[in-house]
Structure 1
Amino acid sequence: MFTIRENDFHRIDLNLLTVLLVLYREGSVSRAAEKLHLGQPAVSNALARLRDMFDDPLFVRTAAGMTPTPRAETLVAALGPMMEQMQQVLFQPPSFTPATATHVFRLGMSDWVERWLMPELQACLSRDAPGITLQVSASDPFRDSEQLLQREFDLAISVGQSTAATLRREKITSLQFCTLWHPEQLPLETPLTVNDYVGNDHALVSYRGSTWSAIDEQLALQGLSRRVRYVTPYFSSLPAMLKRIPVLATVPAGLAADWVAHYGLRCSPVPVETPEIAVSLLWHKSSDKDLPLTWLRTVLSRVIKALP
């Protein structure tokens, strides 16, 4: 926290400090007035106020012009760099150079989004922005808005729907669901039939521990139901489980290629209607003009749209 005494600044006018610096540089009231686009009386009046403010003549008229006093020399040496820095902060547009930036981003996402997205994103950043660090926090569709509002992370890759008034949501892509199993455990053909689907046990991912989902609602409309033997809030444990026990798992289709390639699973469209998975970026409105985060949103959008 900055420790400043506000009352000390009540009698300070930054325009006077500008006059001080220009007078020092030009050594002449008339030339300073010309540079400042002011009349000579205005500059003379400013100098009088500066003398009163610092209780020092500051400049003495000599044959060589306006000669600074030791007090003026000290002030200019201290104030000059400060005023230059203030000018850069106030008037130069901020910049962000990914190739040389050393920035830390806090991202929120579920474990399946991390598995689906992060290998490609991290490869992209390692190549184009090697100084960037990503810190991933676990989230889910029911919590990511709340976590953003509490500033637990800077940006969420969200599959939720709710958006608080102070947040922004940008849909990037949509995914479908698919059903996977291991052929050594379940010798099923593709595409799965509804009878195959309800005739075998299921592992279900639920962030709230429920054994019922939108798929069960669709099955119920047909007078059908399935047996859920295992419920977990995590997708990461499912591939190894499918290799060991005869169950089906219905997951976002973005995981299918990786799971089929690395775990020898089989994949089929879900034989009942399922909702789409809307993948969005979610961030706080106060970060709309944050250059590093704007850059990251652009990179994320490009990478997500290119993923299977």
Structure 2
Amino acid sequence: MIDINEHDFHKLDLNLLLVFTALLRERSVTRAARRLYLGQPAMSASLARLRTFAGDDLFVRTAQGMEPTAHALALAQRLKPVLEGLSGALFATNAFDPASSDRTFSVGMFDIGEVTLGPELLGDMEVEAPRIRLALRPVDRANAVAQLEAGTLDLAITDIGGTTGWIRTKPLYQEFFACIFDPKAVRAQVPISLKDYLSHPHLLTSFGGEFVGYVDEVLEQRGLSRHVTMTTTRFSTLPFVLRRFRGIASLPGTAARELGGALGLTVSPLPVEVPPVDLSLVWHARHDTDPGHQWLRELVYRVCMRLAPPEGNKPKSSDRPRGRSREARRR
């Protein structure tokens, strides 16, 4: 909050503050007028208005020039930090040095993104910006825009549909889906057949707690269905449950490969064509010209593209389902 009384400023032409500072520096009406590109009569008239407002002569004529009064010197001491701060805020270049900055940025992403992107982001920051702090927060398509508008998030990684005029997006990549299972519990070949896929119970990530997800919608179009045994709001829960449960989970391919490799689970393409999710960087327009935020966007974009699925893991172009901007809220 800025704690001022706006009505007080109606009594003062703020340009008179420039007249005051020029007279302090030049100690001459003529030179001060020249400095401000004013005529001497206009400068004299401005000084008269200043004197009326301050209730003090402010400057008195001496053999050495226009000398400030004690009131003018006291006023100058109080105005100096205010005017210098105002000048810096309005006209200085907002330089940003990641190597010395200690800013904190908040980035929203799926929990699985914290697992896959988090270590990579920290690794790059350790080299480029050792003092910057990163707050990773949960986000989904349903609440991303609200959090960005409220200022609780600086940046989000999600898929998003229509946006307002104040929301900016930068496309990342299409995330295709895969399934994972424990090979000791689920005896299936890779790629898994549709019969094997449907014959086992399934785990589902659902932010709303529903037992029907997007994969089920695709199956229903073919007159098929699967049995969902449990839902969770977190993708990262799935592989740990699968190590003790004879079931299958479908999740983003990047996460499936990361978690499957780390926990000894088998990763397989889905046996049905499921359109991919179009992931984007999303931020509020208020940050467009912020050098620090520009650096953050470039950092996150670089890391995301480094982890983007290789072309070889995507369906062939002739078989690839068209991407939809639909959030992986229910899988």
Task: Specify if TM > 0.5.
Answer: yes
Residue 111 (structure 1) aligns with: 111
The Cα offsets for residues 140-180 of structure 1, whole Å up to 9 and x where unpaired, read as 23332333344442322113434345423332111100111
The percent identity for this pair of structures is 40
Q: Which moved more, 1:34-43 or 1:263-272?
A: 34-43
Asked if structure 1 preserves the Cα contact closer than 8 Å seen for 2:94 and 2:290, the reply is no
The CA distance in 1 between the partners of 2:140 and 2:24, in whole Å, is 61
- After superposition, the CA RMSD in angstroms is 2.0
Measure, in 1, the Cα distance between the counterparts of 2:178 and 2:44: 80
- Establish whether residue 3 from structure 1 lines up as the match of residue 3 from structure 2: yes
Question: Relative to structure 1, is the Cα distance of residues 208 and 85 closer, same or farther in structure 2, using a 3 angstrom cutoff?
Answer: closer
Task: Look up the equivalent residue of 2:183 and give its one-letter code.
Answer: P
> Cα gap change, 1:187/1:13 in structure 2, threshold over 3 Å: closer, same or farther?
same
CA displacement, residues 244-276 of structure 1 (integer Å, 9 cap, x when unaligned): 122111110011232232111111111100120
Q: 271-280 or 167-176, which moves further after superposition?
A: 167-176
Is the CA contact (8 Å cut-off) linking 2:106 and 2:136 kept in structure 1? yes
Structure 2's unaligned 5+ residue stretches are 309-331
Q: Does 1:230 align with 2:230?
A: yes
Any idea what the Cα deviations from partners look like across 1:23-58, whole Å, max 9, x if unmatched?
122122222222222222121212222222222222
* Gap runs ≥5 in structure 1: none
Residues 50-102 of structure 1 deviation map (CA, whole Å, 9 limit, x = unaligned): 22222222222222222222222222222233222221111112222211112
TM-score (norm 1): 0.92
How far apart are the structure 2 equivalents of 1:138 and 1:87?
Answer: 39
Residues in 2 aligned to 1:36 and 1:182: alpha-carbon distance in whole angstroms: 78
Distance 1:45 1:299, change over 3 A: same
CA distance in 1, matches of 2:143, 2:59: 64
Separation in structure 2 between the aligned mates of residue 118 and residue 103 of structure 1, nearest angstrom = 17
Which residue is equivalent to 2:200?
Answer: 200
Could you say what secondary structure the match of 1:281 adopts?
strand
- Structure 2 residue aligned with 1:176: 176
Q: Find the residue that maps to 1:267 and give its secondary structure.
A: strand
Are the equivalent residues in 1 in contact too, given 2:239–2:260 (CA < 8 A)? no
CA distance in 1, matches of 2:55, 2:150: 50
2:318 is matched with none
1:57/1:146 Cα in 2 relative to 1: closer, same or farther (>3 Å)?
Answer: closer
Q: 1:88 and 2:88 equivalent?
A: yes
Partner of 2:247: 247
Say if 2:294 is the partner of 1:281.
no
CA distance, structure 1, for counterparts of residue 145 and residue 31 of structure 2: 59
Q: 2:16–2:46: 8 Å Cα contact kept in structure 1?
A: yes
- Aligned-partner Cα distance in 2 for 1:61–1:126: 61
How many residues are aligned here? 308
For 1:123, the equivalent position in structure 2 comes to 123
Contact persistence 1:99–1:131 (CA under 8 A): yes
**Mean Cα displacement is larger for which, 209-218 or 61-70?**
209-218
Q: Assess if the C-alpha contact under 8 Å between 1:21 and 1:80 holds in 2.
A: no
Query: Shift of residue 106 of structure 1?
Result: 2.2
